Amino acid sequence: MEKLEFATLGGGCFWCLEAVFSRINGITSVKSGYSGGTNFNPTYQQVCSGETGHAEVIQISFDSKKLTYETLLDWFWRGHDPTTINRQGGDIGTQYRSVIFYHSEYQKKIAIDSKNRLGKNNFFKDPIVTEIIKIQKFFPAEDYHQDYYRKNPNAGYCNYVIQPKLQKLKLK
């Protein structure tokens, strides 16, 4: 019997994270959306303005009997650069910040421990700037953002940003 939990993560464009996490065993669903800001039910255009406080995020449903939260965070750290403030590659702005929105005190503890462990081990050349914040509300993105890579594998962003990331992580 499945034991489903949620995780909400931001690490740049939600298309990239969605493509990564949709390929990991134990994840039952991945939704692109927005969290962390002040606007209720924001649109993509509002979030892109950088004035809503929202980050582009994914909300993951996962079977914790098949995938631990710790392992999920290991994929998160490898799936983006957590050392750049408000930026992932060419995507610049607060909406692209590195952030973990925890759903429980357990997740908060695991996220803090994971971040501290990587920092102490100098896993990254620069300090980790990832925020760890309690989830308040998740707003699903518009339908055309959902499963973007699967629906648009030949789009420019998919060819030049997502595919190399999937290859680097050895995900098909």
| Active-site hit among 13, 16, 48, 158 | 13
Element containing residue 114 per DSSP (H, E) = helix 105-120
Rounded (5°) CA angle 87-91-94: 50
**The residue type at 170:** K
Element containing residue 139 per DSSP (H, E) = strand 138-140
48 is catalytic: no
Element containing residue 28 per DSSP (H, E) = strand 27-35
Of 72, 79, 133, nearest to 102 by C-alpha is 133
Other residues' Cβ atoms within 10 Å of the Cβ of residue 76 = 24
Of 143, 125, 134, nearest to 83 by C-alpha is 125
CA distance 170 to 172: 7
Catalytically annotated residues: 13
